[in-house]
Amino acid sequence: MKNCSLIIKGKYVLTMDNQMSIFNDGVVAVDNDRIIAIGGKEILKKYKSEKIIDVGNSIVMPGLINTHTHAAKVYFRGIADDLPLSTWLEKHIWPAEAKYVNKNFIKNASALACLEMIKSGVTCFNNMYFFEQETASVANKIGMRALIGEVILDFPTPSRKTPKEALEKTEAMILKHQDRELISVAVAPHSIYACSRENLIKAKELADKYSVNLHLHISETKKENEDCLRINKKSPVKYLDEMGILDNKTIAAHSIWLDDEDIEVYKNRQVKTSHCPISNMKLASGVMNFKKMNESGLIIGLGTDGAASNNTLDLFSDMRVCALLHKINNLNPEIASASEVVKMATINGAKALGMDDKIGSLEIGKKADIITINLDKPHLSPVYNPYSHLVYAVNAGDVENVIINGKIVMRDREVFGVDEDEVLRNACKFQ
Ligand SMILES: [Zn+2]
């Protein structure tokens, strides 16, 4: 018998590996940060541990990956709803950000966001906002995995006076976090309408210099496309492609108004998409062409976007809405099947962030980012198909345990590494 640091046992172990293997009465053995064995009860004959989490009638699966968010925007949850994007942004969000956002705001709001994400089973998030170092520190302290990107805009922001300063800060963060376990850094120019051609190219040069991801919004609204067609005589995707911006390290949030040629560009350049269905529906931005993009073999992850346009960071809700939206939009119930959508929230999310060598599935050698979902609930009984429950029946509150990088971050819904009462008190004070 070999010793290991943690053993997790549960009724259904969903691996999300290439074969979509499921182990009934499955066991995962973890040593330090990695999975060292996975399978049925036979694992218990080979491995023992002082720490065993036996979750009984539960799903054990990879942690969810939120591929596009603005975490600290949780403090603007519900500040303005039911408005067109331009009014919402110009009259409410941007003035509120100018008035309230500072380092302390980001620190406190990021703690609330991380707490909300962990409690809904998210173990890794891709972030774009201000004072990103604060978000990185909070995530690191709680023990959460994050890809962070200081937003680059042509105009002054609460954290940076110029885009040059934002690029310099990004470079400093890349160097600082090069060898960090949980935190990695992306270059994050906001979009083609908030960044000049010159700044987009500089952002891409910086991303290339360190071989890191470039994270931006692409084709979120019809207006973005129409303006780009009018000014540049081409679609946003072609405009970016001609600049040499798009490649397999591009994480493109939204990508709603893509035509067939744009989808072909994404395919040729291996661009990764972060699909944010709830935000897109709430702001009435449009419906992403999931069918065509998925059939083209594009990698599509799921994102919540910020809580000002969602209004939660609960990826289970986005899973359900994603499945329902594309069925009704295509009048075809076979589109966006449950297992496909669970892949989007796990392994394809990892692929979108370029982290699938480390996370996204439960396999030997991968990092132990694991969540468990208790099925002993009226709304989760009986169980014919775990994927079906995850997409159509599970709520965020059903997530019971969260393990990240081999460490127990939440046990029986108690999150360690953060004072939950204090985080909630701070949020009330802000309001
Ligand atoms: Zn966004």
CA 77 vs. chain centroid, Å, equals 18
The separation between CA 235 and the C-alpha centre of its own chain, rounded to angstroms, equals 26
Q: Say how many Å lie between the CA of residue 264 and the centre of ligand 1.
A: 23
CA 395 to chain centre: 17
How many Å apart are CA 255 and CA 287, to the nearest integer? 9
End-to-end CA distance of the chain: 55
pLDDT at 311: 96
Question: From ligand 1's centre to the CA of 173, what distance in Å?
Answer: 21
Low pLDDT (below 70) residues in the chain: 431
Q: What is the pLDDT of residue 302?
A: 98
pLDDT of residue 199: 98
Q: Please name the residue that has the structure tokens 């922001």.
A: 157
Among 392, 393, 366, residue whose Cα is nearest residue 378: 393
3-state class (DSSP) for residue 354: coil
Determine the distance separating the centroid of ligand 1 and the alpha carbon of 152, expressed in angstroms.
13
Protein residues placing their CB within 5 Å of the ion ligand 1: 305
pLDDT of the residue at 85: 82
Q: How far is the CA of 224 from the centre of ligand 1 (A)?
A: 14
Three-state helix/strand/coil letters over 68-107: EECHHHHHHCCCCCCCCHHHHHHHHHHHHHHHHCCHHHHH
CA of 68 to the centre of ligand 1 (A): 6
- Here the tokens at position 239 are 């405009």
**Domain boundaries 2-62+360-414, CATH class:** mainly beta
Q: Report how far ligand 1's centroid is from the alpha carbon of 70 (Å).
A: 6
DSSP state, 63?
P
pTM for this one? 0.98
Percentage with pLDDT > 90 across the chain: 96
- All CATH 3.20.20.140 domain ranges of the chain, comma separated, are 64-352
d(CA 10, CA 210): 41
pLDDT at position 167 is: 97
Residue 210: other Cβ atoms inside 10 A: 13
Task: Pick 64-352's CATH classification: 3.30.70.100, 3.40.50.2300, 1.20.1290.10, 3.20.20.140.
Answer: 3.20.20.140
Report how far ligand 1's centroid is from the alpha carbon of 280 (Å).
Answer: 10
Residue 414 has a pLDDT of 97
Angle between helices 163-176 and 132-142 (to 10 degrees): 30
| Residues listed for the chain | 431
Q: What is the CA(318)–ligand 1 centre distance, in A?
A: 14
What's the pLDDT tens digit per position in 201-219?
A: 999 999 999 999 999 999 9
Q: CATH 2.30.40.10 region(s) of the chain? A: 2-62+360-414
